[in-house]
Structure 1
């Protein structure tokens, strides 16, 4: 999921990131490429990555496994997080733990989400 074409290098721990501006840019990028999503790692530090998702209406992340503990914060718009028979509608300003089983995210309207991935230190 993080190896999207055009993805920029993540900022260092001391960087301040304008999530709103980058999110709007990602939604437009996703719409123009027709991929249904644009993804950019915005901050990385040992054990944690913050990934910004730009999802145009109808776009999203196809079914996949989580690489480890993760959470999703809907910054704008409205998305649905679905897994094994359950789903959670997430309007702007809501957050949810990503289930460990296979799951998918679908945007009902143009949406920007922040994915937090907890990864083992390497």
Structure 2
């Protein structure tokens, strides 16, 4: 599987989507401990503030995003990786972007 090709495909879908986003699970699922999903956001769109899973990372595959948690804000570009803080957080696309979300769930 090419994450680069999938990212391009999902960014194109996100640009045409009403909510400005698209996603595809690439590994795991609800019945596993680890799941990995590629999410794409059109510039200016985002994911509203939501609760954090027990453990998660976000790796930017293309574009530029902002992750906010409370008063903290991180801007990340292609190739950058961050541990998602265990706090309510939101994601905003500063440019057309795709990222790999890896989540470890409690059993």
Both structures adopt the same fold (TM-score exceeding 0.5) = yes
Task: Quote the Cα distance in structure 1 between the aligned partners of 2:3 and 2:47.
Answer: 19
Task: Quote the Cα distance in structure 2 between the aligned partners of 1:63 and 1:37.
Answer: 15
Q: Which structure 1 residue ranges, 4+ long, deviate > 3 Å from structure 2?
A: none
Aligned to 2:27: 43
**Comparing both structures, which one devotes a greater share of its residues to strand?**
2
Aligned to 1:120: 106
Pairwise CA RMSD:
1.3
- Structure 1: unaligned runs, 5 residues or longer: 1-16
1:86 pairs with 2:72 = yes
1:73 pairs with 2:62 = no
Task: Quote the Cα distance in structure 2 between the aligned partners of 1:102 and 1:57.
Answer: 22
Deviation at 1:18, TM superposition (A): 1.3
Aligned partner (choices 79, 92, 97) of residue 106 of structure 1: 92
TM-score, normalised with respect to structure 1: 0.80
Deviation track 1:71-115 (CA, whole Å, cap 9, x = no partner) reads 100111110000100000001111101111110011111111000
Task: Quote the Cα distance in structure 1 between the aligned partners of 2:59 and 2:88.
Answer: 18
Count, aligned residues:
105
Aligned to 1:19: 3
